[in-house]
Chains A and B, each alone.
Chain A
C-alpha cells in the first residue's frame, strides 16, 4: 500500500532513504552470501576437508561483521531520512496553516489541527523510514535470492518465487477490508482523543454540576467501542499477516521437501540440497520483513489523510493584493458591508456602513451577538465580506497584500494569548529586535511595569502555558505593551477590559489613553467606561448600525446608547 500523498513527501529525506535502501539490499546480499558459504562449509566438512570448512566459516563470520555494520547503518539512515521528511513536513504544514489563518483553526477544532501537526507527522515516521525503503529492498533482495536459487535448482526457485508472490499478494486481496479497518481504528482514535481532551478540560465544569460520573460512563462506553474497533482491525490485519505466514511456511516446507525429494531421486547434489535448505528461508525474509514493516508503518495511512486534507485546504481569503499602505494612521471605511457565516442563515453584519476617522478613536458598542467581533474579523481579513467593501485609506482590503495589512494593524484581543517564554519575550513579540529598555518603556506605558517587577524573576519570569499564571488584567496589560511595541498605525482593542476587575480596569484604561495618541483606534466594548472618551461611537444591534455620533451627542439624543449608559450607571450606583 504505497500511498501517493506520503510518497510525495519524501523528497527532503531522499538521500538518507536511498542510503537505507542500499544498506538494506547489501544486508540481503550478505544473508545470501552467508547461506552459500555455510553450504560450502557443510559440503567440505562432510566431505572430510575440515580446513576448507573452517575457512568458509570464517568467510561467513566476516560477512556477519560487515552485516552488523550495515544493519546499524540502515537503521540510522532510515531514522535520519524520516527525520528530515518529518521536519520539512511540519514546517510546511505550519506555514500553510499561517496562510489559512485563525479562521481555519477555530473551524477545524484546535485539537484536530494539533493532531495533524504533531501526531500525524510523527505517525509517518516508520512508514517513511522503514516501510518505503523496505518495498525496494524486498523487491531487489527477493529477486536476487530467487536468482541465486534458480542457478542452483530451477525447480525450487520457481516454487519459492510462486509462493513468495502469493504471500506478497495475499494482503492485497484484503486491501479494502484492511483500509476500512484502519480508517475505523483511526477515526475512533481521533474521536476518543478529542473526547478525552474535552473531558479533561471540562472536568471542573462537569464536577461543578455533578455530571462527572455520567460523563465518565459515556466516555467509558466510547473507550470500549474503541476496543471493538481496535480488535476488528487487528483481526483483519492478523488474518492478512496469517496468509503471509502461511505461504511463507508452506513455501519453505515445500522447498525443503522438494529438495529432499530431488536428492533422493538423484536430481540434486548434497551441496545443493543444503543450499536450498538455507536459501529458501532467506527467500521469504523479504516478504515477512515487508509485512512487518507495513505493520509498523500502517499508522501513517490515516495520518496521510489528515495531512493531505490540511495541505489541500484553501485560505478563506486570497492573498493576491499588491497595493502598499503609507504607514500613517489610516482612515478605515466599511461600505455597506454584509457578512454571513458559512452555514448560518442570518447575516452577522447586514449592510453596515461606518468610518473610522484617521488618528481618532472610534468605539463600537452593542449587546453580545450584535456583530462587533465580526467587524474585527473582516478588518483583519480572516474573511472577506459577502457583500460591500472594507477600505483602508480608500484602498479595498482585497487589493492589499496580507503581510502589508498585518504590519499596519495591532490587536489587543479579548482572549490574550501569551506564548511560553519570559515576560520580556512576550512583550517583544510585538516587534523583532527590540532592546530591553524599549520593552520596559512599553511595559511602563501599559501600566505593567509595577506588577512585572514583583514577579519572581521580573522580566525574565517564565509565563505562558507552562509558566506562572497571570490574572486577566495582567495578561491584558502585557498584550497592550506588546501592541505598543508593534507601533502599528491602526490599533484594535477587542473588549480589552472585559475580564478585569474595577481596580485593574482603571489601570488598563489609563494605559490605553496613552496608546491612542497618533493612531486610528477601534475599540470594541461591553463596558462603557472605555468608550466615554472615544471621539465617535457606533452602536451595533443585530448586525446593523443603530446609532453613530460623538458620545455626547448620543447621550443627549436619548437613543440606544443613552439607555445602555443609564443601565450601567444604575448598576454601578
Chain B
C-alpha cells in the first residue's frame, strides 16, 4: 500500500515552527497599500478632529451663553456647529471605506500567497496536516486578519494622537486640569497589556478547543453512515457535545477576561472625567479657572478617552488575531521539500528514465525508505514496481515526480537530473495518475481539461475513449457536461479512475506514472484500460506501481523491491521461475 510508505508519525517531520508571529510579515503586506493606509489614517484623524472641534465649539457656545450673551449672538456659532457634522460623517465614512478596501485587498493577496505556497509544499506538507485544517487557515484565519487591517491600524494612530492632543489642551487650560487627566489616560492605554499573558494563553486554548470541536464535527458528519449502522447516535452526539462544552469553557474564560477589560476601560474613563471635573470645579472656586471653561474641561475629559476605548475594544481581539496570523505564517514560512533550481528549459528530452543509486529518507531520524535503487526505463517501455507494503514502490514514483529530492544518487530523464529541469518542463514531461483520484466539483469535461485547457472537444473525447471512459460518460444525464459531485461522489470508483487516466493522457506528457491506478476496476474495464494503455504505450514511457498479476505480466520489466532495495529485475515470467520471493508475493 502506498499509504504505508508515509511516515508513521507525520508530525515528527515538522520542523520547529516559530511560535511567535513575525510582526514584520504582516506589516510587509501593507507596503503596496501605503497610499490607502495613509489616506485612511488621514480620514480617521479628520473624523476625530471634526468631532472634537464640534464638541469644543458646542462647549464654547454653552460657555458664551453662561457669560450672558444673547441668544441671537449664538446663531452663527450654532450654524457652524451644524455644518461641522457633515464633514465629520463623511470623514468617518471615507475612513471606513478606505480601511476596508485596503484590508480586503490584503486578504485577497494573502489567500493567493497561501495557495501558491501550499502548491509549492504539495504533497509533502499535506501529508502532515489535515486538509480541513489547511482550508480553515486559508479562509477563516485570513478573514480574522480583517480585524487587524481594517479595524486596528487607524484606531491605533487616532488613539496615539487624539488623547495627547486633549492632554495638551487640558494642560494649556490649566496645568492642574492636565495633571488630573493624565493618570487616567495613561492607565487606559495600559489596559490591553494588563492581562496580556493570560489573554495569549486563553486564545491558544480557545484555538485548540475550536480545532478539536471542528474535527469532532468532521468525524460526526463524515462518519454519519457508520454511526447510523452501528446505532451509536447517542455516543456520537455526546462526543460532539463534550467538544462543544470544552470550547465553551475555554471561551468563557476568554470572555470573562474581556468583560474585565471592558469594565476597567469604562470605569477608568468615568473616573478620569469625574476627577478632572472636580479639579476644574475647585479651580473655579479658587478663581484660577473661569466658570465657562468647566464645560470645555468636560468635553476634553470625554474625548480623551473615546479613541482609547475603541482601541481597547479592538485590541481585546488582538490575541485572536495573533493566533490566526501565527497559523497562517506557519504555512507561509514552511520550507518547501523541493526548490526550482534551473531557470532555462532543456532543449529536447529523450523520455528515458534512469534511477541511479537512489537513496531517500523522509526525515533525518527515519530509516531509508529506498536505498541504492537503480533501474532504467527505456523510452516507450513499461516498468512495473512490485513488492509488499512499505517496500518503497510509491516512494520511487514520488521521486520520479520530484515530490522529494533523493538524499543520494539521482533520478534522470533523458540523461538530465530532475533537479536540472525547470518545474514547468518537468511537469510537461512526467504526469501521474495518483492513487487517490480527485475530481473537482465541476463538469466532466472541465475536469478532464484541467490537464490541458486548450484541448478541443474531440481531443477530450479521444482521451476518454482511450481510457474506456467515453461510454459511461455519454450515458450520464448531460454527457460531458454532467457535474461530478464532491470528490466525484456520483461516480463509482472505477469510473473516477478512468477519468483520471483520461486526464493524464490528455497532457501528452511522454512519461506516465501509474500508482495503483487500476485497483478499483472490475476485470472487464481493467483489461480494456490495460489494452488502451498498451496501445498508447508506444508513445509513453511508463512506471507502474502494481499489485495485480495482470499488470505485472504485461509490463516489459518488473522491478522487485523489498525493504527499500531492488531485489531482482526481469520479465514477469523469468521472475516467476527464478524468484521464490516473487512467487510468494503473488501467492503462488
Q: Which of B223-276 touch A at CB < 8 Å?
A: 223-233, 235-237, 240-241, 244-245, 248, 251-252, 255-256, 258-260, 262-264, 266-267, 270-271, 273-274
**With the chains together, A196 CA to B107 CA distance in Å?**
14
A194 contacts chain B at the CB level, 8 A cutoff: yes
Q: Which of A490-514 touch B at CB < 8 Å?
A: 495, 498-499, 501-504, 506
**With the chains together, A495 CA to B494 CA distance in Å?**
12
B168 contacts chain A at the CB level, 8 A cutoff: no
A-binding segment of B22-30, B213-221, B320-328, B369-377: B213-221
Chain B residues lying within 8 Å of A202, measured Cβ to Cβ, are: 438, 440
Q: Which of B532-588 touch A at CB < 8 Å?
A: 547-550, 553, 585-587
A536 contacts chain B at the CB level, 8 A cutoff: no
B436 contacts chain A at the CB level, 8 A cutoff: yes
In contact, B3 and A469 (Cβ under 8 angstroms):
yes
Q: Which of B108-152 touch A at CB < 8 Å?
A: 108, 111-112, 115-116, 118-119, 122-123, 126, 130-132, 134-135, 138-140, 143
Q: Residue on A with the closest CB to B121?
A: A203
In contact, A212 and B119 (Cβ under 8 angstroms):
yes
In contact, B277 and A110 (Cβ under 8 angstroms):
no
A9 contacts chain B at the CB level, 8 A cutoff: no
Chain B residues lying within 8 Å of A254, measured Cβ to Cβ, are: 82
Closest approach, in angstroms, between the C-beta of B27 and any C-beta of chain A? 20
In contact, B521 and A368 (Cβ under 8 angstroms):
yes
In contact, B438 and A204 (Cβ under 8 angstroms):
yes
Most buried by B among A46, A106, A209, A212: A209
Q: Residue on B with the closest CB to A568?
A: B523
Q: How many residues of B contact A (CB 8 A)?
A: 166
B-binding segment of A142-150, A237-245, A325-333: A237-245
**With the chains together, A190 CA to B453 CA distance in Å?**
26
In contact, A194 and B108 (Cβ under 8 angstroms):
no
Contact A503 B453, CB 8 Å, known A205-B437, A249-B54, A486-B230: no
A465 contacts chain B at the CB level, 8 A cutoff: yes
Q: Can you list 10 pairs linking A and B with CB atoms under 8 Å apart?
A: A67-B266, A102-B228, A114-B214, A208-B431, A209-B503, A216-B119, A220-B112, A366-B522, A406-B231, A502-B547
**With the chains together, A254 CA to B84 CA distance in Å?**
12
In contact, A407 and B58 (Cβ under 8 angstroms):
no
Chain A residues lying within 8 Å of B119, measured Cβ to Cβ, are: 203, 206-207, 212-213, 216
Most buried by B among A98, A343, A471, A501: A501
Of A41, A113, A196, A420, which is within 8 A of B219 by CB? A420
Of B10, B93, B504, which is within 8 A of A209 by CB? B504
In contact, B427 and A368 (Cβ under 8 angstroms):
no
Of B251, B274, B485, B523, which is within 8 A of A528 by CB? B523
Q: Residue on A with the closest CB to B107?
A: A227
Chain A residues lying within 8 Å of B61, measured Cβ to Cβ, are: 256-257, 260
In contact, B130 and A465 (Cβ under 8 angstroms):
yes
In contact, A564 and B118 (Cβ under 8 angstroms):
no
* Cβ-closest 5 pairs across A and B: A45-B281, A75-B259, A571-B550, A210-B427, A471-B1
Of B73, B93, B223, which is within 8 A of A239 by CB? B93
B-binding segment of A151-159, A269-277, A435-443: A269-277
A554 contacts chain B at the CB level, 8 A cutoff: no
In contact, B438 and A201 (Cβ under 8 angstroms):
yes
B85 contacts chain A at the CB level, 8 A cutoff: yes
**With the chains together, A512 CA to B507 CA distance in Å?**
42
Closest approach, in angstroms, between the C-beta of B64 and any C-beta of chain A? 8
**With the chains together, A110 CA to B151 CA distance in Å?**
33
**With the chains together, A80 CA to B254 CA distance in Å?**
12
Closest approach, in angstroms, between the C-beta of B389 and any C-beta of chain A? 6
Most buried by B among A79, A256, A346: A256
B300 contacts chain A at the CB level, 8 A cutoff: no
In contact, B122 and A207 (Cβ under 8 angstroms):
yes
B432 contacts chain A at the CB level, 8 A cutoff: yes
Q: Which of A454-511 touch B at CB < 8 Å?
A: 456, 464-466, 468-473, 482, 486, 495, 498-499, 501-504, 506
Chain B residues lying within 8 Å of A235, measured Cβ to Cβ, are: 97
Contact A114 B218, CB 8 Å, known A210-B427, A210-B507, A368-B494: yes
Chain A residues lying within 8 Å of B258, measured Cβ to Cβ, are: 75
In contact, A471 and B389 (Cβ under 8 angstroms):
yes
Scan A215-245; emit 1 where CB is below 8 A from any B CB, else 0.
Answer: 1100110011011001100110011011001
B174 contacts chain A at the CB level, 8 A cutoff: no
Chain A residues lying within 8 Å of B436, measured Cβ to Cβ, are: 204-205
Of B241, B251, B270, which is within 8 A of A67 by CB? B270
In contact, A216 and B112 (Cβ under 8 angstroms):
yes
In contact, A571 and B138 (Cβ under 8 angstroms):
no
Of B232, B244, B255, which is within 8 A of A87 by CB? B244
In contact, A368 and B525 (Cβ under 8 angstroms):
yes
Of A48, A209, A572, which is within 8 A of B507 by CB? A209
In contact, B389 and A526 (Cβ under 8 angstroms):
no
Q: How many residues of A contact B (CB 8 A)?
A: 163
Of B104, B231, B522, which is within 8 A of A526 by CB? B522
**With the chains together, A265 CA to B270 CA distance in Å?**
32
Chain B residues lying within 8 Å of A250, measured Cβ to Cβ, are: 82, 85
**With the chains together, A111 CA to B441 CA distance in Å?**
12
Chain B residues lying within 8 Å of A429, measured Cβ to Cβ, are: 226, 230, 232, 235
Contact A369 B223, CB 8 Å, known A75-B262, A200-B138: no
In contact, B237 and A34 (Cβ under 8 angstroms):
no
Closest approach, in angstroms, between the C-beta of A251 and any C-beta of chain B? 9
In contact, B225 and A260 (Cβ under 8 angstroms):
no
In contact, A419 and B223 (Cβ under 8 angstroms):
yes
Of B115, B130, B264, B427, which is within 8 A of A216 by CB? B115
In contact, B264 and A68 (Cβ under 8 angstroms):
yes
Closest approach, in angstroms, between the C-beta of A492 and any C-beta of chain B? 9
Q: Residue on A with the closest CB to B453?
A: A214
A169 contacts chain B at the CB level, 8 A cutoff: no
Contact A369 B472, CB 8 Å, known A45-B284, A64-B274: yes
**With the chains together, A216 CA to B119 CA distance in Å?**
9
Q: Residue on A with the closest CB to B7?
A: A469
B332 contacts chain A at the CB level, 8 A cutoff: no
In contact, B89 and A199 (Cβ under 8 angstroms):
no
In contact, B112 and A219 (Cβ under 8 angstroms):
yes
In contact, B112 and A403 (Cβ under 8 angstroms):
no
In contact, A101 and B115 (Cβ under 8 angstroms):
no
Chain B residues lying within 8 Å of A506, measured Cβ to Cβ, are: 587
**With the chains together, A430 CA to B371 CA distance in Å?**
42
In contact, B84 and A253 (Cβ under 8 angstroms):
yes
Q: Which of B473-489 touch A at CB < 8 Å?
A: 475, 477, 485-487, 489
B-binding segment of A49-57, A132-140, A171-179, A355-363: A49-57
Chain B residues lying within 8 Å of A567, measured Cβ to Cβ, are: 523-524, 527
